[in-house]
Structure 1
Amino acid sequence: MTMLAFLSDFTIQNVMAGAALLGIVSGVLGSFAVLRKQSLLGDTLSHAALPGICIGFLIAGVRDLPVLLAGALVTGAVAALLMVALTRTTRLKTDAGLGIALSLSFAVGIVLLTHIQATGGAGHGGLESFLFGQAAAILRSDIYVMAAIGAVALALVMAFWKEFKLVSFDPDYARTLGLPVLALDVTITVTIALAVVIGLQMVGVVLMAAMVVAPAAAARQWSNRLGTMVALAALFGMASGLFGALVSATARGLSTGPLIVLAASAIVLVSLAIAPGRGMVWEWLQRLKDRRALPSRRVLSTLYRLAAEHGNPAYPAEQTMLDAYHGTSTARGLERLKARGLVARAAHAPEFTPHWVLTPSGITEAEALLGHPNEDENQ
């Protein structure tokens, strides 16, 4: 099968569209959950969606996706409100409130699912697929429903961008400005619940939490700006969705949902490793650079202190004296400082041994390194 024929397959198109849509929405909304240190929120909302799916099925009597997702949204919102109520009216921390809401709602969902399966009948067929997702069963009409829910979620983010941003970073300041912080918290939570609802059929209740957290966590490693982070999270989420869908379509017997989550997890690992300024490789290189620069910094500090003690910024320090003071050869460190223009060779008649003086740049560098001791003394 050629690539064109492969991509023109109706089922594959549906799966790829659904996976890309899921990745974009969950990446955008998951950013706020990660920044608010509520990564467990996605897990709670996804598990809280299960009783809503079962209740929606009991009301509709058939596996009607809009009704099931509406039920999932309602129970997810109820679980979120329960968490907010527990953390604001008791001494429980956020993680404890999320854990209680998660376990309680999921237990109710399992009981309802068991009851539905025990009643028999063909109408409940495939209902348990919401636990782990079944992307291959997604229909074009399901894509339209997901797109509509995603559009509502993204529209809320755009409409309340400044408010969401302020509440996420500094809720106390937002409160002093007169903003309804509680209402905004609830709105953010419900909006994240919309992202969870979108992914239930693709990746399921159990794995949906990863889609809320992983793209945002990866994006956080690459940027300190919210706008850039949200855009990267959407890109990473979409890439994960498309990769998982393509691999699942080309490899027989591999589920789409787990592959999407694995792809997102791989992006997180790569970001943790190589992201500039935050990645482990970057930090290792920085530590190596600092370790190599340490001898030079010590020599620079010694030259500065000698000049300060003699009251002469251009005091020539003998290299052999520096060697004796540091207990090792300082030649390499001095050459590195010279290459950076921080020190210079100096003659000191009648002695013929090498002497070194600080340059104006070296004095400035040493003052910055030592915390501007001269300024402290003058004060």
Structure 2
Amino acid sequence: MMDAWWPALIFSAGYNTTLVTLGAMLLGAGAGMIGAFVLLRKRSLVSDAITHATLPGLAMAFVLIGAIQGDGRWLPGLLLGAALSAALGLWLVQWISARTRLGEDAAIGAVLSTFFAFGVVLITVIQSMNVTGQSGLTGYLVGSTAGMLAVEAKLIASCALGLLLAVFILRREFLLVCFDPEFAQTQGVNTGRVDLLLLLLLMAVVVIGLKVTGLILVVALTITPPVSARFWTNRPPRMVALAAVLGALAAYLGVTLSSARASLPTGSLIVLSAFAIFLMSFLAAPRRGVFASLLAHQRFRRRVHLRQGLLSMSRNEPIFDGLTLRLLRRAGHIRRDGVATAQGRAAAREAEHEERLWALYRRLYPGDALHREHAGLDPIARVLPPDAIDELEQRLLASGGRA
């Protein structure tokens, strides 16, 4: 398996394979970028409606092309039919949600199920027609690059490149509308037009990706890379760029894997590669990943136990918790027999003094204290400015040390 996979990984498995791989990577990058904006706009479900709405247009285009030339597998015509059908489905979703009391989710459910059911009926009819190429339609459901002609690969690659450039050019307007539509309007941005462009580019991703990932799985390429990117950064521009990189990486791995063996489905492997990237991000991202969250929780737990142990020492209260004792012993605050060291007594006095300062601060400024998460666990000099600490010290001294 590795012997067959390696040439595809280094782009030496043949002209067609290299062309398909590059086209799929451009498609993955464009899908990741537009998917990031759709995710930020909270409209990811629309992509599912668009994908299912392509099926009847694809089938009707196949019927028409087959009736004209006897073989319905003409990629430009099929993509055009899918685009028209997807545009109709998108318009219906917008019209239903705008003109009725139904929400967008209900409109999406109605359009998705109706269009997909109609497409399935048409495919059943196609199977009984006297035209060639019916079996090739399954490739548009789950994706298939095996046997793709060079002219088809070039068409997909050029469309994907154009899509990527369009998303890159419009990225600022998209970000502005995603985060603050009202402010965007004050800056002269037509939010309705930007929303429409966003959905049209999403539709373009779906249509271009029909041959590569299939209409059933292409929605994953617009959702999974942006979700994976969200684990690695809090900044939207970086998230968009990272989603493009992860989308391209998923397409690269999926297409090269499928080229290693003819029976492997391209779309499924691209989606599985995207999920593997998501799983790695979910587990290993430095801030939001599971492992990082577990480590942060353990650090926070140790800080709480250590501080509570020092406060107990300052108040001559017995300590029974094993973790607290281990932390105090490791920090050199107590000996093995539990007796406090000179360093531990000094640290306990300091902890008690800071606890009184924090208690006074919370009493004097309750509103501000609410916004300082876990403030009592941090040294007060790291959180408050020197003049605020001096004021607290004077007030504490005037009250005789009572908070």
TM-score, normalised via structure 2 length:
0.76
**Please, which of 351, 354, 376 is the counterpart of residue 365 of structure 2?**
376
Structure 1 residues 216 and 128: CA distance shift in structure 2, 3 A: same
Given the alignment of the two structures, is residue 48 of structure 1 paired with residue 56 of structure 2, yes or no? no
Task: Please name the residue that 1:74 is paired with.
Answer: 84
Match runs of 1:282-361 below 5 Å: 282-299=292-309, 302=311, 319=313, 321-324=315-318, 354=345, 358-359=349-350
- Structure 1 distance, partners of 2:268, 2:51, is 15
Structure 1 residues 18 and 356: CA distance shift in structure 2, 3 A: closer
Structure 1 residues 299 and 85: CA distance shift in structure 2, 3 A: farther
Does the CA contact (< 8 Å) of 1:296 and 1:337 recur in 2?
Answer: no
**Please, which of 278, 298, 302 is the counterpart of residue 268 of structure 1?**
278
Task: Please name the residue that 2:401 is paired with.
Answer: none
The amino acid that maps onto 2:27 is L
Does the CA contact (< 8 Å) of 1:276 and 1:282 recur in 2?
Answer: yes
Given the alignment of the two structures, is residue 139 of structure 1 paired with residue 128 of structure 2, yes or no? no
Given the alignment of the two structures, is residue 160 of structure 1 paired with residue 164 of structure 2, yes or no? no
Does the CA contact (< 8 Å) of 1:48 and 1:106 recur in 2?
Answer: yes
Structure 1 residues 365 and 219: CA distance shift in structure 2, 3 A: farther
The size of the alignment, in residue pairs, is 351
Unaligned runs of 5+ in 2: 67-71, 334-339, 367-391, 396-403
**Please, which of 30, 33, 36 is the counterpart of residue 28 of structure 1?**
33
Given the alignment of the two structures, is residue 17 of structure 1 paired with residue 22 of structure 2, yes or no? yes
**Please, which of 187, 192, 198 is the counterpart of residue 182 of structure 1?**
192
SS of alignment partner, residue 277 of structure 1: coil
CA displacement, residues 37-78 of structure 1 (integer Å, 9 cap, x when unaligned): 222222221111111212322343332111211221222122
SS of alignment partner, residue 210 of structure 2: helix
- Structure 2 distance, partners of 1:364, 1:90, is 60
Given the alignment of the two structures, is residue 37 of structure 1 paired with residue 6 of structure 2, yes or no? no
Task: Please name the residue that 1:316 is paired with.
Answer: none
CA displacement, residues 285-336 of structure 1 (integer Å, 9 cap, x when unaligned): 1112222221223356x48xxxxxxxxxxxxxxx373324x66697656567
TM-score, normalised via structure 1 length:
0.81
Q: Name whichever structure is richer in strand by fraction.
A: 1
Unaligned runs of 5+ in 1: 304-318, 348-352
1:193, distance to aligned residue in structure 2 (A) = 0.8
Task: Please name the residue that 1:350 is paired with.
Answer: none
SS of alignment partner, residue 240 of structure 1: helix
- Structure 2 distance, partners of 1:358, 1:296, is 14
1:17, distance to aligned residue in structure 2 (A) = 2.3
The amino acid that maps onto 2:303 is A
- Structure 2 distance, partners of 1:80, 1:366, is 61
SS of alignment partner, residue 142 of structure 1: helix
